[in-house]
């Protein structure tokens, strides 16, 4: 598996993975697939060291998953904070793809001088909680009843990972995240 920056040729694969969650899941609070112009705009807004978009490519060129960083806020004093996204194709989950993508994203965030990465995880997404905890994220709060999708009102867990401490390996991340 190779991790590399996303390019325009990846947009169909990236949004095939994402749109499944848009239309059938609650991992994202987007409810409508993006238009071709919005997809291109998404890619254009993810080209800088602080806002990377990366893909996990399997032998043969199959995109198994993608990840990105976005600004937490457009207010300047939040510039040290970014939010991550990680999406893995349903056929390739549970095999380490999400972990490798998140490791790469955290390394890029650190090199870019970011201070903290935030993750918003909807209630009832144990895979995402486990993924983030395995990489040293900790839960810092629950935003209660902030979302509504498919007729369900949803809580969102807010998690953070501070980058000004040594980057833990997966085992250290588990200890940090799960209090082991
Ligand atoms: C969340 C997601 C990205 C995880 O990707 P993945 O490739 O399946 O994850 P990995 O195989 O790399 O596993 C990472 C860690 O999470 C754990 N994990 C993965 N799936 C899990 C599950 N269903 N239940 C519990 N733990 C799980 C793994 O055991 C691993 O922990 P470890 O490193 O301590 O062994 C993937 O399930 C996904 O794309 N889900 C839909 C989109 C989504 O929810 N994105 C996150 C939005 S906040």
With CA atoms as reference, report the closest residue to 82 among 55, 110, 124.
Answer: 110
The number of folded domains in the chain is: 1
Residue with the nearest Cα to atom 25 of ligand 1? Answer: 127
Q: Is the CB of 98 under 6 A from ligand 1?
A: yes
Say if ligand 1 is within 6 A of residue 116 CB.
no
Reported pTM: 0.93
pLDDT at res. 164:
87
Q: How far apart are CA 108 and CA 51, in angstroms?
A: 9
Question: How many Cβ atoms from other residues are within 10 Å of residue 147's Cβ?
Answer: 15
Q: What values do phi and psi take at 109, rounded to 5?
A: -60, -40
What's the rounded Cα separation, in Å, for the pair 12 and 9?
Answer: 7
pLDDT string in tens for the chain (180-residue length): 999 999 999 999 999 999 999 999 999 999 999 999 999 999 999 989 999 999 999 999 999 999 999 999 999 999 999 999 999 999 999 999 999 999 999 999 999 999 999 999 999 999 999 999 999 999 999 999 999 999 999 999 999 999 986 655 444 444 444 332
Alpha helices in the chain (DSSP H): 11-24, 36-44, 97-111, 126-134, 170-178
Is residue 53 in contact with ligand 1, taking CB distance under 6 Å?
no
What confidence score (pLDDT) does residue 47 get? 87
Nearest-atom number in ligand 1 for the CA of 94 is: 11
Supply the CATH number for residue 55's domain: 3.40.630.30
Domain that holds residue 133: 2-178
Cβ contact 119:162 at 8 Å: no
Question: CA-to-CA distance for 116 and 71, rounded, in angstroms?
Answer: 11
CA dist 2 → 54, 76, 93 (Å): 10, 34, 16
- Per-residue pLDDT, 85: 98
CA of 76 to the centre of ligand 1 (A): 32
Is the CB–ligand 1 distance for residue 91 below 6 Å?
A: no
Q: Which positions ≥6 away from 126 have C-beta within 8 Å?
A: none
């Amino acid at each position: 598996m190779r991790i590399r920056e996303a390019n325009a040729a990846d947009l169909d694969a990236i949004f095939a993975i994402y749109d499944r969650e848009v239309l059938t899941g609650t991992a994202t609070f987007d409810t409508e697939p993006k238009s071709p112009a919005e997809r291109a705009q998404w890619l254009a807004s993810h080209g800088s060291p602080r806002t990377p978009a990366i893909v996990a490519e399997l032998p043969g060129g199959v995109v198994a998953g993608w990840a990105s960083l976005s600004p937490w806020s457009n207010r300047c004093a939040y510039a040290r904070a970014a939010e991550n996204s990680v999406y893995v194709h349903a056929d390739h989950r549970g095999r380490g793809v999400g972990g490798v993508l998140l490791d790469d994203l955290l390394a890029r965030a650190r090199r870019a001088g970011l201070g903290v990465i935030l993750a918003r995880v909807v209630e009832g997404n144990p895979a995402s909680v486990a993924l983030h905890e395995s990489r040293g994220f900790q839960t810092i709060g629950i935003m209660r009843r902030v979302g509504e999708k498919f007729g369900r009102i949803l809580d969102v867990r807010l998690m953070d990972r501070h980058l000004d401490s040594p980057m833990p390996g997966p085992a250290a991340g588990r200890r940090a995240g799960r209090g082991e």
